[in-house]
Structure 1
Amino acid sequence: MPKLGDVASHVRSKVAGPFWVTIDVFFPDRDSYARWHDNPALRRESVAKIYEVASDTVSIYPVEKLNMVKISYPRATPQGGVTERDLHSGQQFAYLLEVEMA
């Protein structure tokens, strides 16, 4: 079974304000986007489990014109807090790379 890191052309994460993280999953072309964008591995419940947040706090935004999916979820701690481990959320995408696509 392919993994997200195998089917996506680029995956990045970034800070989306002091309380949110956004992950962008880009697919190489329209056909790949059509095949993978609504995969169960990229649904709210799956993302919530990976990032240990409530599923009703996860937002998924398909952007067909860019062959990408934007995923947003709340940060575990506010940006810049005492327990902050990834100030710019630049490493959060890595958890998705090994997710198996059904």
Structure 2
Amino acid sequence: MQDIRSKNAGPFWITIDLFCTDAAAFSALCEALSTQAVADALCTTAERLQRFDIAALNVIKFSAPREVVQGARADRDMHGASYAVVIKELIDALERTELERKETESQLS
């Protein structure tokens, strides 16, 4: 993966864009990253999370409703930038798990 960006998408939504380096990386990430896992990481439900796989751009986009309206007293991230970190940690964990699986397979063969 090349980059992750999260941002405010109006007062009621956050959007997270995952930019892949090429079609192979995009395909692998689409397969490995479940909507449910992202929803869990964002403390929402899969039904409330919107996912857009944009193959022509090698981009996966998620949109999630904000917990509180942007700018409200309880809003801890007015610009939505910290959500990228949460998804990066999730992807890093998926990559570690895949590396461990491959390592175990090579040891068994």
- Report the TM range for the smaller structure's normalisation: 0.7 to 0.9
Matched-pair identity in %: 30
Scaled by the length of structure 1, what TM-score is found? 0.84
SS in 1 for 2:83: coil
- Following TM superposition, where does structure 1 have runs of at least 4 consecutive aligned residues deviating by more than 4 angstroms? none
SS in 2 for 1:82: coil
List runs of 5+ in structure 2 lacking aligned partners. Answer: 99-109
Report the alpha carbon displacement of residue 72 of structure 1 after superposing the two structures with TM.
0.7
Count, aligned residues: 93
Scaled by the length of structure 2, what TM-score is found? 0.79
Higher relative contact order (CA 8 A, sep 6+): 1
Which has the higher Rg, Structure 1 or Structure 2? 2
Tell me the residue number matched to 1:23.
Answer: 16
1:39-59 deviation line (CA, Å, top 9, x unaligned) = 2xx322111111111220001
CA RMSD of aligned residues (A): 1.2
Partners of 2:51 and 2:40 lie apart in 1 by: 14
Tell me the residue number matched to 2:69.
Answer: 78
Name the one with the larger helix percent. Answer: 2
Partners of 1:31 and 1:43 lie apart in 2 by: 17
List runs of 5+ in structure 1 lacking aligned partners. Answer: 1-7
